[in-house]
Structure 1
Amino acid sequence: MNLFEFFEQLMGIVDDSGDPTDYGCSREEISAFKRIARDRHPEKPVCVVADWKWLDVPAPEDNMNDSPRSTEEYLQFVVARTILEDEADRRFNSVFTSRLVDFSDGCIFCTRNTAYILVGPGKRRTVVPEVLAYASVHRAALVLSRQPRQKD
């Protein structure tokens, strides 16, 4: 991959590119899906997000047995520009999740620690592991330097 392709994929994480998906619930359905998420995953806080993108990352060979979708050979993540509600009170307006552990009901994206409710239409895009690693390192630096969001 050349430098141009690398930055094109990096920008693809945060821009509006990607394939439209059928995932996501309507705003009117948020309460119902929060109840479902809490019933199925009572140990996890619920985070409701919008303006989201599902990222597929080709999994390294040694991670294939750990992936919940190992037959597809991808690890999945979500990046969301907008947090509508957050029981964990992350103090930021956006989120970059850890990898998918379970996905159900067309909108409940669970990681090891959190159940995310995907609201509204989203996009889906494949990115190479190197781009995700670069974005993750820079995301951590950004989180450390950002001001907390203001409560309404």
Structure 2
Amino acid sequence: MISLELWRAKFESVYGPGEIIQGSDMLDSQAMQYARERFPDSKYCIVRTWVWFDLDVSDDQRKEMLEKHGAQPSFIRADRVVFDSKSRFEQGDWVRTSALHSFEEGFLFRTSNTVYMLLGIGYRAHAMPGLIREAAAYDLTMGA
């Protein structure tokens, strides 16, 4: 098991300053059962080793995004898909979400069409909009 300080060092080396945050502590099997019961008719994706990016945008840009799309300029980039209900991603793939519509129960990150279940330790950082595209090049699970 990797210590919190090692996780922090790995995250900071790639994404800069931020904070370690905790998603759900469910086991993968528990998360799959929870999702099947809670979201029987919705798309969901269970992920681990994730980063929550809050994009650095102006107040006007943030307001426009909320008004036009009902979303906030926050995204998740996860290094490990545990399970995707619609088989869009294979187990072990990485995924980047679309913008945040709501965050519930401390681990359910909802976008316009999918609920992402954030399991285990994650990281929250601020980023310039261009970093979201660049983040796809990094895999924090390497050497973990």
Alignment TM class, shorter chain as reference: 0.5 to 0.7
Q: Give the deviation of 1:88 after TM superposition.
A: 2.0
Q: Give the deviation of 1:76 after TM superposition.
A: 0.8
| Counterpart for residue 15 of structure 2 | 12
Q: Is the 8 A contact 2:65 2:73 kept in 1?
A: no
| Counterpart for residue 47 of structure 1 | 45
Question: How big is each residue's C-alpha offset from its partner over 1:16-61, in whole Å with a ceiling of 9 and x where there is no partner?
Answer: x74101333421641225533x16xx4x311100011111102342
Q: Is the 8 A contact 1:50 1:118 kept in 2?
A: yes
Aligned partners of 1:29 and 1:87: how far apart in 2?
Answer: 15
The code of the aligned residue for 1:12 comes to Y
The alignment status of 1:103 with 2:106, answered yes or no, reads no
The code of the aligned residue for 1:98 comes to S
Aligned partners of 1:22 and 1:120: how far apart in 2?
Answer: 6
Aligned partners of 2:24 and 2:51: how far apart in 1?
Answer: 11
The code of the aligned residue for 2:56 comes to P
Task: State, as a whole percentage, how many aligned pairs show the same letter.
Answer: 22
Q: Give the deviation of 1:128 after TM superposition.
A: 1.2
TM-score by length of 2: 0.66
Can you give the 5+ residue segments of structure 1 that lack an aligned partner in the other structure?
1-8, 69-73, 143-152
User: Given the superposition, is the C-alpha separation of residues 131 and 88 from structure 1 closer, same or farther in structure 2, using an over 3 Å criterion?
Assistant: same
Q: Is the 8 A contact 1:57 1:129 kept in 2?
A: yes
Aligned partners of 1:108 and 1:87: how far apart in 2?
Answer: 15
| Counterpart for residue 79 of structure 2 | 81
The code of the aligned residue for 2:134 comes to A
Q: Secondary structure at the match of 2:89?
A: coil
Can you give the 5+ residue segments of structure 2 that lack an aligned partner in the other structure?
1-11, 138-144
Aligned partners of 2:66 and 2:56: how far apart in 1?
Answer: 11
TM-score by length of 1: 0.63
Q: CA RMSD in A?
A: 2.9
| Counterpart for residue 21 of structure 1 | 21
The code of the aligned residue for 2:54 comes to D
Q: Is the 8 A contact 2:22 2:120 kept in 1?
A: no
User: Given the superposition, is the C-alpha separation of residues 12 and 113 from structure 1 closer, same or farther in structure 2, using an over 3 Å criterion?
Assistant: same
